[in-house]
Structure 1
Amino acid sequence: MPTTPRSHATTALHGLALGDALGSQFFVPANRRALTERLLPPGPWQWTDDTEMACSVHRVLTSHGAIDQDGLATSFAVRHDFDRGYGPATNRMLRLVREGGDWRALAAGLFDGNGSWGNGAAMRVAPLGAWFADDPALAVPQARASAEVTHTHPEAVAGAIAVAVAAAVAAGQPGLRPGHFLDQVIALTPAGLVHAGLVQARRLLTISDPVLAARALGNGRAVSAQDTVPFALWAAARHLDDYEQAFWATATAGGDIDTTCAIVGGVIATRAAPPPSWVERCEPLPAWADVPPEALLRSRS
């Protein structure tokens, strides 16, 4: 079956949702030992705000062929489910947008006018990147536009760009080597802390222990783009063609597990199908997302 931008994006969305949903289970104290032993917790696995926002990115992209910022802001606000684990600043912002607030002013005004440098823009962007598998450079302005709706700080924007480019490269280049993968991401990521972290991640590809890598790169515990994206893309690079191993390597490092696993799952899903038994335990995507459920089971040949 021929692949299309939409099919790439849909597969990435499902991969993101599974990584998010399974990763989120390890915040439950009873499941933490299961993580060290690589045991699956009982289902169903419920996804979080990472997936809910990614569904809006996917829906706007497939409706317009590009990111319409007003449409994306509206979708984020209307679909916002407080119980999905949003951060306080995002909860407040989306509530104010629903009440008629200007998303541009609200996003720019966060954190004393510096904008958020959190990992929220990066966690949701993999489907957008996969859409541009034929030309990763085209993902850059679109990722920037998608980030700015909630995250205006340059590091948050850079994190979104890096993940989008990673998803585009992963979807469009079979037989990809880890170093070449990260080289292409680094080349298109703006200079700054995220970029520097990616350069360090490239140097650390020779090590195999995700805990050691996370000590150097961060694991999302600080919930910033620079503390999240370099490690997530290190894990993706190390396991580009094995969803199961990529998940466990990412989750083992701890930190913001649902977000790091969402990023990794979204980046590699177009080339590495997850185990069907995992898919069966994942909460289905919402009906409003309007995506076929079978997309996650398709892998790149």
Structure 2
Amino acid sequence: MSAQLLARTAASLHGLALGDAFGSQFFVPTNRHALSSRLLPPAPWQWTDDTEMACSIYRVLADHGTIDQDELATSFATRHDFDRGYGPATNRMLRLVREGGDWRALSAELFDGKGSWGNGAAMRVAPLGAWFADDLTDVVQQATLSAQVTHTHPEAVAGAVAVAVATALTVSDSDLPAGHFLDRISEHVPESMVHDGIAEARQLLTISDPTLAAQMLGNGRQVSAHDTVPFTLWVAARCRHDFEAAMWTTAAAGGDVDTTCAIVGGIIAASERDHLPPLWRARCEPLPDWAGAPPLDHESA
């Protein structure tokens, strides 16, 4: 594997973690009031389950070069920190996997056998899109595999595919106009409410108010893929070359802010042209050592 491959994947992971940690600060009431004036929340910023699970994806890719579902399930379960904000269904599933349960059966049995359509598969997948950015067919296949470990519902899979493809396009064709960016993503997303939401996001590119966009597209408040992913792609399409503007725009819409900011951050940071703001990075909790992610190129000098 090339140094460039590792660098772009690690950059996406760092951006995801920074977005996650930044967004998580706005569940504190005093910080929410600072949104309108764009005052950075006080340090330290701690990341959540979004980052912890994304680190497992990075680790499995670095070790195997592909999504080994058994390895990914094991990593999710052994690295699971209950205090990172996991949902109750995921907490229970990962505990049972640690106790010897079959992740395939446990994932498929969720929600009366329908599987979870939550946004958890989408929130962690951006680094995978950066890894496989040279082949969008691989992106779709590998994102599907990564989602199925915990989320078997087609909507959750579609959400993961959409975010991974968006990240891949940010790596391979970062100058795509916003509308074409969403069109290219849609070409690879199966028919679903997520797909319909991306089409609606395409129609909303002419508006600039994130609150209005979120009213139409969702902001993750329902913690579902189709209530989360279209809005994050609307932000990414409009703000792909300005990390700070993208984060403030995403946070202004409220909802599941750590997850929406994590998704947007992971997409945008994969572009080589975008460096994460040093002041923000200094406030963010470092990635765990076990992830093995290298520092950003401009920070290693």
Give the TM-score band, short-chain normalised. Answer: over 0.9
> How far apart, in 1, do the equivalents of 2:162 and 2:191 lie?
11
Q: Who is 1:275 aligned against?
A: 277
User: Helix, strand or coil: the match of 1:34?
Assistant: coil
> How far apart, in 2, do the equivalents of 1:232 and 1:296 lie?
27
Matches within 5 A, 1:89-238: 89-238=89-238
Deviation at residue 136 of structure 1 after TM alignment? 2.1
> How far apart, in 2, do the equivalents of 1:242 and 1:3 lie?
25
Deviation at residue 174 of structure 1 after TM alignment? 3.1
Residues 126, 163 of structure 2: 8 Å contact kept: yes
Deviation at residue 296 of structure 1 after TM alignment? 7.8
How many residues align? The count is 297
Deviation at residue 5 of structure 1 after TM alignment? 2.1
Q: Who is 1:67 aligned against?
A: 67
Seen in structure 2, the aligned counterparts of structure 1 residues 3 and 208 have a Cα distance that, compared at 3 Å, is: farther
- Identity over aligned residues, as a percent? 69
Normalised TM-score (structure 2) = 0.96
RMSD: 1.3
Deviations 1:182-236 (A, max 9, x none): 1110000010100000000011111111111000000000000000000001000
Q: Tell me the amino acid that sits aligned with residue 47 of structure 1.
A: W
Residues 155, 226 of structure 1: 8 Å contact kept: yes
Residues 10, 296 of structure 2: 8 Å contact kept: no
Residues 139, 165 of structure 1: 8 Å contact kept: yes
1:287 to 266, 286, 289: 289
Residues 24, 258 of structure 2: 8 Å contact kept: yes
Unpaired runs of at least 5, structure 2: none
User: Helix, strand or coil: the match of 1:246?
Assistant: helix
Moved more, 237-246 or 173-182: 173-182
Deviation at residue 3 of structure 1 after TM alignment? 6.2
> How far apart, in 2, do the equivalents of 1:280 and 1:51 lie?
17
Q: Tell me the amino acid that sits aligned with residue 84 of structure 2.
A: R
Residues 14, 295 of structure 1: 8 Å contact kept: no
> How far apart, in 1, do the equivalents of 2:138 and 2:71 lie?
20
User: Helix, strand or coil: the match of 2:34?
Assistant: helix
Moved more, 46-55 or 166-175: 166-175
Q: Tell me the amino acid that sits aligned with residue 203 of structure 2.
A: R
Q: Tell me the amino acid that sits aligned with residue 65 of structure 1.
A: G
Matches within 5 A, 1:31-46: 31-46=31-46
> How far apart, in 2, do the equivalents of 1:235 and 1:217 lie?
11
- Deviating 4+ runs (over 4 angstroms): 295-298
Unpaired runs of at least 5, structure 1: none
Q: Tell me the amino acid that sits aligned with residue 153 of structure 2.
A: H
Normalised TM-score (structure 1) = 0.96
> How far apart, in 2, do the equivalents of 1:79 and 1:6 lie?
22
